[in-house]
Amino acid sequence: MRLTLLIGLAALAAVLAVASLLAGEVWFSPGQVLRALTSSPPNLTRLVVLDIRLPRTLLALMIGAILGLSGAALQGLLRNPLAEPGLLGVSSGASLGAVIAIYYGFAGVVGWAAPVFALTGALITAGAALLLSRGGATLALILAGAAISAIAAAGIELALNFAPSPYAAYQITTWLMGSLADRNWDHVRLAAPFIVAGGVLLLLSARALDVLALGETQAESLGVDVGRTRLLILFGTALGVGGATAVAGAIGFVGLVAPHLVRPLVGHRPSRVLVPAALVGAVIVLLADIITRLVHIGPELKLGVLISLIGAPFFLWLVLHVQRRTAA
């Protein structure tokens, strides 16, 4: 059952990844791509596939996976079905970092300024959330995260409010919408180490997450170092989601939705949710990114906007579902 699920999801992600190489302004057939890649003289098809579409596909895969994975780990850690990277302020911290880079014009001077600032923002907010909730229970962490998230959001609004030029405000706004358009290998090189490192840290917490289903006291009594697990997951999330937000902007809901889609299929075991949730996250982002390329209504449909359009109603359904379950 579990293996079938993993193979099925991996196959689906692979199919979408290939489709993502073929789809776009100019459609290629698989044969065209194969011929272009095997023929020796450089040609336009090869250039488009290798330098434009492949980095974009890889980013979609990695970003979707780390968002799904961190959502699953956070929901396991906090034992709260509404937990996601955004809840702890990691996403908004990363956004604020990038906005500062754009606002002060660093982003215009060096290309990697926005990503580096975003990553720093993510690490600072996650660290602050952890520090503020130290010694407290899970609820303290959620509340601290929500408060920090609100502070970061206020900072972003302040930047928009005093934007030096309408162009800067426009740049900030579009960046906040999240997109994978015009990303290249530099972005992959920048994000990949952080996403991979974050992913490894999150996966290391698997067994502790299972025991945490019994609550923190019992987990502690069974030899789990709850404080260390918390640190591992928050740091992993900050690295991974910080890296993802750094290159693609804010993409919400994937971390919230992906774990819920797979949880009933793996008997609700927190450790078993991790990998399938990562695959589902990758599938969602790949699919949404393909759709943004196919929709032609005026300006580019932003990836983050599209995912929110689908994710928000799901979130509403989730809230109602949880309410019904707790009322029963």
Q: Is the Cβ of residue 178 or residue 270 nearer to other proteins in the bound state?
A: 270
Q: How far is the CB of 325 from other proteins (least distance, A)?
A: 9
Q: How far is the CB of 234 from other proteins (least distance, A)?
A: 19
> Which of these segments, 115-123, 167-175, 209-217, 283-291, binds other proteins (CB under 8 A)?
209-217
Query: Segment 8-27, which members bind other proteins (CB under 8 A)?
Result: none
Exactly one of 52, 224, 250, 301 binds other proteins (CB under 8 A); that residue is: 224
Q: Note whether 235 and 107 are within 8 A (CB).
A: no
Q: Is the Cβ of residue 222 or residue 320 nearer to other proteins in the bound state?
A: 222
Q: How far is the CB of 222 from other proteins (least distance, A)?
A: 5
Under the binding rule (CB under 8 A), the answer on residue 173 touching other proteins is no
Q: Is the Cβ of residue 43 or residue 323 nearer to other proteins in the bound state?
A: 323
Q: How far is the CB of 263 from other proteins (least distance, A)?
A: 8
Three-state SS for the chain is: CHHHHHHHHHHHHHHHHHHHHHCCCCCCCHHHHHHHHHCCCCCHHHHHHHHHHHHHHHHHHHHHHHHHHHHHHHHHHHCCCCCCHHHHCHHHHHHHHHHHHHHCCHHHHCCCHHHHHHHHHHHHHHHHHHHHCCCCCHHHHHHHHHHHHHHHHHHHHHHHHCCCCHHHHHHHHHHHHCCCCCCCHHHHHHHHHHHHHHHHHHHHCHHHHHHHCCCHHHHHHCCCCHHHHHHHHHHHHHHHHHHHHHHHCCCCCHHHHHHHHHHHHHCCCHHHHHHHHHHHHHHHHHHHHHHHHHCCCCCCCCHHHHHHHHHHHHHHHHHHHHHHHHHC
Exactly one of 132, 215, 291, 310 binds other proteins (CB under 8 A); that residue is: 215
Q: Is the Cβ of residue 263 or residue 293 nearer to other proteins in the bound state?
A: 263
> Which of these segments, 4-12, 18-26, 215-223, 312-320, binds other proteins (CB under 8 A)?
215-223
Q: How far is the CB of 215 from other proteins (least distance, A)?
A: 6
Q: Residue 259: phi, psi to the nearest 5?
A: -60, -35
- What's the rounded Cα separation, in Å, for the pair 325 and 317? 12
Under the binding rule (CB under 8 A), the answer on residue 222 touching other proteins is yes
Under the binding rule (CB under 8 A), the answer on residue 225 touching other proteins is yes
Interface map 258-297 toward other proteins (x if CB under 8 A): -----x---xxxx---------------------------
Q: With CB under 8 A, what is the number of residues at the site for other proteins?
A: 20
Which structure tokens are listed for 219?
């987990």
Q: Is the Cβ of residue 61 or residue 87 nearer to other proteins in the bound state?
A: 87
Under the binding rule (CB under 8 A), the answer on residue 210 touching other proteins is yes
Under the binding rule (CB under 8 A), the answer on residue 207 touching other proteins is yes
Q: How far is the CB of 200 from other proteins (least distance, A)?
A: 14
Q: Is the dihedral of CA 187, 192, 197, 200 positive or negative?
A: positive
- What's the rounded Cα separation, in Å, for the pair 115 and 215? 37
> Which of these segments, 28-36, 143-151, 190-198, 219-227, binds other proteins (CB under 8 A)?
219-227
Contacting residues toward other proteins, per CB under 8 A:
79, 207, 210-211, 213-215, 217-218, 220-225, 263, 267-270
